[in-house]
Structure 1
Amino acid sequence: MAGKKSTFLSMVLTLLMVSLISATILGFVHSMTKEAIDVAKLKAQNEAIKNILPEYNELGASWKAAPEDGGDSLIFFPAFNSSQELVGVAVKTYSKNGFGGLIQIMVGFKPDGVISGYQVLEHKETPGLGSKMDTWFNNTAKAGQNIIGKNPGTAKLLVTKDGGEVDAITASTITSRAFLESIRKAYKSFQAAAQHETEGPISHDEETEGGAL
């Protein structure tokens, strides 16, 4: 009887040890994977800022501001030239109304509010349909598919079905509406934050402050 108890106890201890080791390994792998993903996202974010803003020398300190409708804060990245003059502001914006849910976009504005560029950071839209927003809204060959160079304060950035001047992605009106919603949200917050006093330029080599959602 004593032998059976000893064997049972050994089995339990062995199972506990195996479970503990497995949990430790899984935790370590998760930590390493998350770190790699975070680094990749930060790199993509910084590349997006470079791609969508006019040429600049330095980025100023970023700041967050909640949109007018509440919800999660947007993140602003001001850019300066060598004379310390503001040349544009990149805004990390979003919509939760995409066909696949959350859409994250980096959009750039010149100081006068004109859109200088955009880059989709994250989405779960249908491949070949909603995913076309990566390039659909900067098609210089078609006015109805190009938001670059437009000022959301004067241009009606809604899909034509809603009375706007932007052609929706074929068979992806929901995605198009969500995309344009995120742009309008960024512009309104950009205008509201126009009086925000930045902390001045920081070294371009410094990691851009992350955040958002």
Structure 2
Amino acid sequence: MINNIYKNGAILAAFALATTGLIGLTFLGTKGQIEQQRNERLQATLVQVMPDDMHDNALAESCISLTNEALSAEETVSIYRATKAGDPIGFVIESTAPNGYSGNIHMLVGMLLDGTITGVRVLDHKETPGLGDKINLRISDWILSFNGKVVSPDNAALWDVKKNGGQFDQFTGATITPRAVVKQVELTALTAAEHTTEWLDMAANCQVVQEMSNE
């Protein structure tokens, strides 16, 4: 009986080791492919908020990572610097609205150095399906209403939903979510204006840049 227990235990242990080894080999074999796909998805999203005809550099290779309370109170953010013919023209900025109806709303904000918004995309949220989720382009084209709008200290009143005297539509039955996005886009652009020189002078330091350079 005891011998059988030891034998069965040894078989189970061997099986566990073999399974762990196979999982490890599978991970190593697909890691490069996973990273490539992730970088491709990132690049596709970046281009949505900073179209190719506006810049001529590889955005993901001119990325800086930093902490800024206005952009995210909880984690570091990535900022992608856009240039054309070697001259800086704008940023794509990771930013998180902390005051959505159901929590954080993580987004990418594209903007030119003069405060013109080139695009916004929501990357992650937990807003109510059928109400707050209209911030997602897959559900509604509301997020496209930012394109071409200009943020400046002089037009703060416009950066709100129409219910509060601003220029952006609210959703039927949901005002908190769109207002949170509008105000965070405004704050993001104003923060960029305040830190433009600092951000342009920083050396690229994002993890994705290191990974791409090692491929």
Identity of aligned residues (%): 24
Q: Which amino acid aligns with 1:194?
A: T
Alpha carbons of 1:21 and 1:177: their partners in 2 closer, same or farther (altered >3 Å)?
farther
What are the ranges of 5 or more consecutive residues in structure 1 without an aligned counterpart?
139-145
Cα offset for 1:89? 1.3
Among 74, 79, 83, which residue is 2:82 paired with? Answer: 79
- Aligned residue in 1 for 2:95: 93
Larger Rg: 1
Query: Which residues in structure 2 correspond to 1:30-45 (within 5 Å)?
Result: 38-45=35-42
Where 1:79 maps in the other structure, the secondary structure is strand
Where 2:48 maps in the other structure, the secondary structure is helix
What are the ranges of 5 or more consecutive residues in structure 2 without an aligned counterpart?
211-215
Q: So what's the TM-score if we normalise by structure 1?
A: 0.72
Cα offset for 1:26? 4.6
- Aligned residue in 1 for 2:193: 191
Q: Which deviates more from structure 2 when the two are superposed, residues 162-171 or residues 9-18?
A: 162-171
Deviations 1:48-82 (A, max 9, x none): 22232252111472213333444323322111112
Cα offset for 1:127? 4.2
Deviations 1:3-22 (A, max 9, x none): x2211110111222223333
Cα offset for 1:161? 4.2
Task: Determine the C-alpha separation between the residues in 1 that align with 2:31 and 2:102.
Answer: 22
Deviations 1:96-143 (A, max 9, x none): 4434544322111111111111222333444443332122132xxxxx
8 Å Cα contact 2:134/2:142 also seen in 1: yes
Among 152, 175, 184, which residue is 1:182 paired with? Answer: 184
Among 3, 12, 18, which residue is 1:15 paired with? Answer: 12
Where 2:196 maps in the other structure, the secondary structure is coil
8 Å Cα contact 1:61/1:198 also seen in 2: no
Query: Which residues in structure 2 correspond to 1:34-183 (within 5 Å)?
Result: 38-53=35-50, 55-58=54-57, 59=59, 61-69=62-70, 70-82=73-85, 84-133=86-135, 134=137, 135-138=141-144, 146-153=145-152, 154-155=155-156, 156-162=158-164, 164-183=166-185
Task: Determine the C-alpha separation between the residues in 2 that align with 1:30 and 1:97.
Answer: 37
Alpha carbons of 1:93 and 1:33: their partners in 2 closer, same or farther (altered >3 Å)?
farther
Where 1:158 maps in the other structure, the secondary structure is coil
Q: Which deviates more from structure 2 when the two are superposed, residues 62-71 or residues 34-43?
A: 34-43
Q: Which amino acid aligns with 2:117?
A: I
Alpha carbons of 1:46 and 1:176: their partners in 2 closer, same or farther (altered >3 Å)?
same
Alpha carbons of 1:40 and 1:171: their partners in 2 closer, same or farther (altered >3 Å)?
farther
Q: Which deviates more from structure 2 when the two are superposed, residues 10-19 or residues 121-130?
A: 121-130
CA RMSD of aligned residues (A): 3.5
Task: Determine the C-alpha separation between the residues in 2 that align with 1:201 and 1:126.
Answer: 40
Task: Determine the C-alpha separation between the residues in 1 that align with 2:197 and 2:44.
Answer: 26
Task: Determine the C-alpha separation between the residues in 1 that align with 2:168 and 2:183.
Answer: 12
Bigger RCO of structures 1 and 2 (CA < 8 A, at least 6 apart): 1
Task: Determine the C-alpha separation between the residues in 2 that align with 1:102 and 1:36.
Answer: 30
Task: Determine the C-alpha separation between the residues in 2 that align with 1:66 and 1:200.
Answer: 13
